[in-house]
Chain A
Amino acid sequence: MSTTGEEKKSAPAQPLFGKKERQLLSDPLDNNNPITVQVLGICSALAVTVQMEPAFYMSMGVIFVTMMSNLLISIMRNVIPSRVRIIVQLAVVSTFVIIVDQVLKAYAYEMSKQLSVFVGLIVTNCIIMGRLEAFAMANKPWPSLLDGIGNGLGYGAILMVVAFFRELIGSGSVYGYKVFDALGINYIGNGVMVIPAGAAIVIGLVIWAQRARNGMVESE
């Protein structure tokens, strides 16, 4: 959350894809991941990861919304009065979420049924509000756009990892493809992974693995 103002230093003639811009994209994937490090946007991460397909659609939706709302808020950042900024942000975010919701209903109706309320809940996904507050309100449109994409991707990456394990262990398939049947092994799905409790435990273990690798320790 301390990325504010980093971009302001290199004001004149910055390259479109300099080192800093690349960092904006790659940092949220690992060292500054929105889910495992910033602890944002957990609600939906746990609920839609029973299988990989809904997790994929959800990630796409979140990437689109973070990207567009970061861009729009960043363009408007100098005209938004700070007292009412939360309402303005909510209005912008929910507009994009409505677009995602309507597109899903029109072109992927089954998926929109399966995701049910969680598409609507992108509005209150803390990643989006968090990035708007911490980044888009203080930075130029282009870095904000990249930051939005980066954080959306970081969210998507964790979602896909958790969904991969839950689907593999829970129903013995990967993205709907029955792996164990194809190998000729008779696999009975482990019910623990299908219920929400499994999600919390998998994500806890993912965090453990990631932090053990990065050497990050939370002092408590």
Chain B
Amino acid sequence: MESLFNIFIRAIFIDNMIFAYFLGMCSYLAVSKKVKTAIGLGAAVTFVLSITVPLNWLVYNYFLKAGAMSWTGITALATVDLSFIGLIIYISVIAAFVQLIEMIIEKFSPALYAALGIFLPLIAVNCSILGGVLFMVGRPYSLGDATAFGLGSGVGWFLAVVALAAIREKLKYSNVPAPLRGLGITFIIVGLMSFGFLSFMGFSI
């Protein structure tokens, strides 16, 4: 149990998707102008990450890994290694899942759809989702670990995007040199925030 909590906390603070790996930067920069939209996309990313990482864990461990299909009992399949087509499978799982969620939310909760709807299609091509899946494949996680990791990464992304949006809202009132306005100053702020997150580096639970 302690190790699950450890993975969760590590994913939020130490291996933060944004500040340690810079994953999902495109949408991170695009939606961080207002806190409200940032919360919307952050929630959507957290949700999708915490479902697709365990989902892809199942796909990897029961279909793609070398010898993963031995559970079928067919000897011809027992030694098959499909991990080289992993990428195309993971991205299809993510895209299909996002599409499915979009349809379900639209049907059952129009209010939630109005809040999250426009962000969902963006998520299929958000690097942090595929990045989370690829990190998970590279590490010896169990299903529980993978879930904790996915959830933690999502929460970390959420924190990062909301924090940046809050800073950018205040930034509107400051006098930034003209060519640095917008993208330039945002990058420098992200760099400084990343320094802040470095201070979590040393601690262990």
Contacts and interface: CB of A to CB of B under 8 A. Distances in A.
A200 B25 CA distance: 11
Given A196-B21, A196-B22, A200-B194, A220 B179 contact: no
A1 interface: no
B84 A102 contact: yes
A208 B138 CA distance: 37
Contacts, number: 139
Interface in B124-151: 124-127, 129-131, 134-135, 138
Q: Is the interface of B mostly helix, strand, loop or mixed?
A: helix
Interface string B172-185: 10000111111111
Contacts of A126: 26, 125
Contacts of A116: 138
Interface residues on A, range: 35 or more
Contact of B191 (A129, A201, A207): A201
A160 B67 CA distance: 41
A220 B194 CA distance: 23
A200 B187 contact: yes
B110 interface: no
A23 to B, nearest CB: 23
A198 B187 CA distance: 10
A111 interface: no
A103 B121 CA distance: 31
A196 B30 CA distance: 20
Contact of B26 (A43, A101, A197): A43
Nearest to B185: A204
Nearest to B23: A43
B198 interface: yes
> Most chain-A CB neighbours within 10 Å: which of B22, B134, B188?
B22
Given A212-B179, A220-B181, A199 B95 contact: no
